[in-house]
Amino acid sequence: MDRISSSNSLSTPRFRCFDPTNSYPDHTTNHKHYIRTFSNSSFNNNSHSNSTPEMGLLINSDPKIETGEAGYVLEDIPHLSDYLNHLPTHPNPLQDNPSYSAVKQYFVDVDDTVAHKVVVQKNGPRGTHFRRAGPRQKVYFQSDEVHACIVTCGGLCPGLNTVIREIVCGLHHMYGVNTVLGIEGGYKGFYSRNTIPLTPKIVNDIHKRGGTILGTSRGGHDKSKIVDSIQDRGINQVYIIGGDGTQKGVSVIFEEIRRRGLKVAVAGIPKTIDNDIPVIDKSFGFDTAVEEAQRAINAAHVEAESFENCIGLVKLMGRHSGFIAMHATLASRDVDCCLIPESPFYLEGPGGLFEYIKRRLKENGHMVIVVAEGAGQENLSENTRSINQQDASGNKLLKDVGLWLTQKIKDHFSTQQNININLKYIDPTYMIRAVPSNASDNVSCTLLAQSAVHGAMAGYTGFTVGPVNGRHAYIPFHRINEKQNKVVITDRMWARLLCSTNQPSFLNAADSFEDDHEENETEIHAENGESEPNGYNGQSLIS
């Protein structure tokens, strides 16, 4: 097995994945290949161990990348045994669980990996793969040894409570774990808030409620204090549920835990209503958000139909990624125009928004516009745009594109066209975020939680779990944190949307898009190479 830095080699030898949770004769030699460990004496969960490489622990934090035949690449995740010697293993208790023991295939095979891309060319390389999630034959924790904790960070998203519930129940029912702590109020809760014990009884009904029973927050990520708190409490499995910001925070926490040489498994569970996390097919809560957005769009349509020259305008979530707006538009069929951050638009002149509005009102007497919150920010004038203002987590604060559009449309039609426009603006953001997850998201949450639990019990650490082409995989942080997932407007999904609304593409007359946004275009093409042809990360909703 070779370890490489990046490239796909077609000439590498035949390969067998090394999985420390299954017994193979080449176990030790293989693993020592990329992580050298001199000692595990620094493992001490009761003092703030500050082991450094100089003190005896040599830690390689490079990505674990292995190659195989025909351009096969495995982007692997860290394992506790990478930096801790002589960790005892135990048979997986699921082997005695009647639900799992009957069929061997319920356990993950050592060679199972999940392909990042499913659309491939006949002679192309096999490409990037991730380790498949699921139960292993061996575990690295005994049931009564596990002290787990769960924290939720960032904005709300439907399904948070379901994930909490299923981690607690998964640990208890599958692995006999009884000690799970809830950290209240996001990252800062590790050092400034109380904890609550979580048992299957306490979490029994929480999936029916919106929000998170643990509370959440932005900001307050203090790596040292968080890891101190983890050590002080004797926690050895950390489940962190949150979005793109949170996953960056998990990565930092994991690095510190590894630096201190702690036997603590760290698992990130991606939560993003905006669907802006790369690699994974989609995040839990997304389907619920799209479904809930239909209510706002329906209301806008009813209003628009009822008044003369009426426009229903709905602002949906999506700071940098227009997935909710795009899918809500495609689902609704009542939307005449969808504006997203990835597709710059303009108001005046041929091919612009005003021209289109005028035509639709003439043809139909009313129209519905859906705008993602991050759309058109480049159009908002300097005095309406909040330059450099950030929330506690460092996210740029956006101005309300809905209010801006409302004003611009009204001004334009009353002064320049002498047409009195009725405009009904709906911002359902917090109503959408606060609902409980729907049935399909509940299933996603359950699978995510269980995959995270299987991974941590098997000693894996420093990973984010998520569906990749419909199969759950353990994804290394560098892949999750390297970029944001965005709608690729050169992919066919955007063409489908343009076709369904019949709106202008805003591409033809916008010379500025080609000239002034050269960097943007490069980015779009680069991303296009990374994404599936359907414009979605993985599984297509509409093929």
Ligand X SMILES: Nc1ncnc2c1ncn2[C@@H]1O[C@H](COP(=O)(O)OP(=O)(O)O)[C@@H](O)[C@H]1O
Whole-angstrom distance, CA of residue 473 vs CA of residue 526: 24
Residue 243 touches ligand FBP, criterion: CB under 6 A: yes
Is 457 annotated for ligand binding?
Answer: no
At residue 419, what are phi and psi to the nearest 5 degrees?
Answer: -115, 130
Residue 92 or 246 having the CB closest to ligand X: 246
Residue 373 touches ligand X, criterion: CB under 6 A: no
Per annotation, catalytic residue among 19, 76, 82, 274? 274
Residue 44 or 484 having the CB closest to ligand X: 484
Residue numbers at the binding site for Mg ion (CB under 5 A):
243-245
Which of 281, 292, 373, 427 lies at the binding interface for ligand FBP (CB under 6 A)?
373
Residue 155 or 182 having the CB closest to ligand X: 155
Q: Do residues 129 and 206 touch, judged by C-beta distance below 8 A?
A: no
If phi > 0 it is left, if psi is from -120 to 50 it is alpha, else beta; for residue 7 that is: beta
Q: How far apart are the first and last CA of the chain?
A: 37
Indicate the angle between helix axes 323-332 and 492-501, nearest 10 degrees: 50
Q: Give me the least distance between CB of 340 and Mg ion, in Å please.
A: 16
Amino acid symbol at 248: K
Which of 186, 210, 402, 459 lies at the binding interface for ligand X (CB under 6 A)?
186
220 binds, among ligand FBP, ligand X, Mg ion, none (CB under 5 to 8 A by kind): ligand X
Catalytic (active site) residue 109: no
Cα 313 to Cα 308, 316, 389, 402: the distances in Å are 15, 10, 26, 7
Residue 135 or 242 having the CB closest to ligand X: 242
Is 319 annotated for ligand binding?
Answer: yes
Q: What is the radius of gyration, based on Cα positions, of the chain?
A: 25
- The two tokens of residue 88 are 């005892």
Which stretch, 245-253, 320-328, 408-416, 443-451, contacts ligand X (CB under 6 A)? 245-253
Which stretch, 138-146, 216-224, 510-518, 530-538, contacts ligand X (CB under 6 A)? 216-224
DSSP class of residue 271 equals B
Q: Give me the least distance between CB of 56 and ligand X, in Å please.
A: 28
Whole-angstrom distance, CA of residue 480 vs CA of residue 268: 10
Q: For residues 74-133, which are near ligand FBP according to CB under 6 A?
A: none
Q: Give me the least distance between CB of 534 and ligand FBP, in Å please.
A: 23
Residue 63 or 249 having the CB closest to Mg ion: 249
Cα 257 to Cα 48, 153, 222: the distances in Å are 10, 19, 13
Q: Which residues bind ligand FBP (CB under 6 A)?
A: 154-155, 243, 245, 272-274, 317-319, 373, 391, 395, 433
Known catalytic residues are 274
